[in-house]
Structure 1
Amino acid sequence: MRASKLIVAAAALVMSYSVSAAHADEFPSKPVNVILPYPTGTGPDTVMRLVGDKLKGYWGQPVTIENKPGANYWSAVDAFKKGKPDGYTLFQTENWMIALQRHLFKKLPYDPDKDFSPVSPMFQANYFLTVAAGSPWKTVSDVISAAKAEDGQLTFGSSGVGGAMHMGAAKLQNATGIKLTHVPVKETPQIFVQIANGELSMAFGTASTAGPMLRGHKVKFIAIADKARNPNFPDVPTFAEAGGPADFVHKSWLALFAPQGTPKPIIDKINSDVTRALNEPDVKAKLASIGFTAWTSTPEELAGTLAEETRLMGEIAKSQNISLD
């Protein structure tokens, strides 16, 4: 009796997978909608539209981009949660929302684990420790020594509590034991103007956000928060090379998610085609021009990265008493 039940269960599982696989073969048979919590014209939006055009060509179906910025990303999440788990509603977001918000708010209008199914990574953006071009600091070691001597008087700019720039400095403080003063600045470009003018001591910036002031020789990159140098900035050392903490990594990454319950064959198909699009030479070149690096991997590896990022962000938020409640 037990053996027969197992055989029936196995047959049902095989049949279910076969049906899902058949649906994947037919997917998509209508337009696919991708919801973004970012405004039109931003880096994530630019990349999604570029990849969406490639997918349209592969699939023979429109890929619509629905921008819903603001409200801590929650307006976009609300629209996403109304979608069916069939592959026709996708959500593009970053690690700061999916891995960090659960540690900043006591209550969220979504469940990061139950509402989202990892589909495909898209790209990463490196962060650089940025100071004034005329600063005497040449290494991370110099900054750490100055911060210890000043005991909390050195400042760092960010675009807001719990954002990527804030968390970069929080990571640095956590790893070295130094104390810095956080200065939120509403407009991100203004942060680097204030660094150049001596109003702020430093910030974690990307090639995109700090680029204009860097090209104008008003600020400089002391180190890249990664384990390896960036080929676009070969002269900028890693944190470890510049006397900072070993293996210090801080980067933003964006990925695609589907509603939980979306059939695995459909997720795998989307992942395969997004990976194909990101490997197209013109897509890679466009990403590089705006300071991003294409990131391709499997849904399972994305899930693993998300789990590790969630753990690390929780440790830092708790250690540095970062909260938005």
Structure 2
Amino acid sequence: MQLDHFWRASLVALALGCAAGAHAENFPSRPIRLLTPYPAGLTPDVATRVLADKLSKIWETPLVIEAKPGANGFLALGGAKQAAPDGYTLVVVGDAHMTTNPKLLTSVPYDPQKDFQPVSLFFRAPFLFYTSSSAPYQSIGDLIEAARKDPKKITYGTPYVGSPAHFGGAILAQATGTQMMPVHYKEGAQIYTAVANGDISFSVATIGSGLPLVKAGKMKMLATASKERLADYPQVPTVKESGGPDLVVETWVGLMAPAGTPAAVIEKLNAGITQALKDPELVSKFAALGIEPQGSTPAELQKRIGDELSEVEARMKRLGISIE
């Protein structure tokens, strides 16, 4: 009886394995949904459409983008969490969804490590420090000096508590022993208008967000929050070169699948993304958006999420940041 049970279990396992293998071999055989928490027109949305166009050609299968913005990404991630784990529903996520919100918000309706299976990163975006073109600050050192002379003078704009922009300003203040006051805005456009008008001292933003007002002559780049100068903007010094600490602020965006998606399907999805990210046209379009193509293995993305969850929690405690 025990032997008969063993053989039956073995046959079931073999059948399931064959079915999964056949599914992966034929994948994808129908359109793939990409759920995204980003509003249409923002850099992550545009980049997702560029990537989707390349993947649709590689797989000869349409990729249908469904924008579900709002609610801190809960709508898009909730939809993906409930989807069948077959590779035909993916969700676009940023570090805020996977590593900041779970530590910042008191109630998050998903577990970033248990409810999703990492597929791949697909871009990173470095941040820069911007100020008004008419501001007296010519360097990060000037901002620090002004903050030391008048602790209530220097302010910076952020889109929400715990955002990369918020962390960037808070880390700069803590590292230099100064006070720099965050001002939170509901919309990104309001931040850059306030900077351009001189209502706040500076902002920390991506190239895609700040460049339009720089080109319009209303803002200027003080420094890039990265280890090295950016290849496309070699004239902009790093924060350290500009008289500040060794400060890195960046964001990343990647793709996740529902937990339980077969490993062979994840592998095929990852291979397609890796191929697409090498496409010269995609690289050029990403550069125009101020972002850099960056892929990863599923394991690398999984590790990154785990590491950053710990880092964010420690950083929030160190900086005294909590939801307001």
Calculate the TM-score normalised by the size of structure 1. Answer: 0.90
Equivalent residue, structure 2, for 1:234: 234
Partner of residue 108, structure 2? 108
Segment of structure 1 superposing worse, 165-174 or 97-106? 165-174
- Runs of 4 or more above 4 Å deviation: 9-19
Q: Render the CA deviation track for 1:214-260: whole Å, top value 9, x for unaligned.
A: 112221111111111111111011122222222x2111110000111
CA distance in 1, matches of 2:276, 2:257: 18
The equivalent residue for 2:266 is: 267
C-alpha distance in 2 between matches for 1:128 and 1:291 = 11
Instruction: State the 1:10 CA deviation.
Output: 11
Work out the CA distance in 1 between the residues paired with 2:49 and 2:197. Answer: 36
| Post-superposition offset of 1:13 | 8.5
- CA 1:234–1:11: 2 relative to 1, 3 Å: farther
Cα displacement (A) at 1:315: 1.8
Which residue of structure 1 lines up, in the alignment, with residue 297 of structure 2?
298
Q: Tell me the distance in 2 between the aligned counterparts of 1:98 and 1:134.
A: 38
Aligned residue runs from structure 1 range 175-190, under 5 A: 175-190=175-190
Over the aligned positions, Cα root-mean-square deviation in angstroms equals 2.3
Determine the C-alpha separation between the residues in 2 that align with 1:217 and 1:162: 29
Corresponding residue of 1:5: none
Alignment partners' CA distance in 2, 1:75 and 1:159: 19
C-alpha displacement of 1:90 = 0.5
Cα deviation digits, residues 15-34 of structure 1 (max 9, x gap): 87665444322111221111
SS at match of 1:135: coil
- Correspondence for 1:164: 164
Q: Distance in 2 between matches of 1:178 and 1:199?
A: 20
User: What is the 5 A alignment of 1:128-167?
Assistant: 128-167=128-167
The CA deviation string for residues 89-121 of structure 1, in whole angstroms up to 9 with x for no partner, is: 101010011100111112211111111211111
Q: Structure 2 vs 1, CA of residues 134 and 108 (structure 1 numbering), >3 Å: closer, same or farther? A: same
SS for the counterpart of 1:208 is helix
Residues 296 and 149 of structure 1: CA distance in aligned 2, closer, same or farther (over 3 Å): same
Tell me the distance in 2 between the aligned counterparts of 1:13 and 1:243: 62
Alignment-derived partner of residue 196 in structure 1: 196
Distance (Å, rounded) in 2 between the aligned partners of 1:291 and 1:144? 27
- Contact kept, 8 Å, 1:189 with 1:210, in 2: the verdict is no
Q: Which residue of 2 aligns with 1:317?
A: 316
User: How far apart, CA to CA, are the structure 2 residues paired with 1:260 and 1:39?
Assistant: 25
1:193: how far off? Answer: 2.4
In structure 2, what is the equivalent of residue 89 of structure 1? 89
1:62 aligns with: 62
Instruction: Report how far residue 156 of structure 1 moved.
Output: 0.4
Contact 1:174 1:316 in 2 (8 A): no
What is aligned with 1:45? Answer: 45
**Identical residues among aligned pairs (%):** 37
The answer to whether the 8 Å contact 1:20/1:264 transfers is no
Judge conservation of contact 2:116–2:258 (CA < 8 Å) in 1: yes
Per-residue CA deviations over 1:149-170 (Å, capped at 9, x if unaligned) read 2224311011222223222212
Post-superposition shift, 1:41?
A: 2.2
Q: What SS class does the counterpart of residue 314 from structure 1 fall into?
A: helix
Partner deviation per Cα, 1:39-86 (whole Å, 9 max, x = no partner) = 222221212122112222222222111110111111112211111111
Matching residue's letter, 1:71: A
- Quote the Cα distance in structure 1 between the aligned partners of 2:282 and 2:41: 16
Taking the aligned partners of 2:14 and 2:181, their CA distance within structure 1 comes to 58
Partner of 1:285: 284
- Greater CA deviation, 52-61 or 270-279? 52-61
Q: In the TM superposition, what whole-angstrom CA distance separates every residue of 1:176-228 from its partner, at most 9, and x where no partner exists?
A: 33221111123322322222222101110221111121112221111111111
- Structure 1 regions of 5+ residues with no counterpart? 1-8
Corresponding residue pairs, total: 317
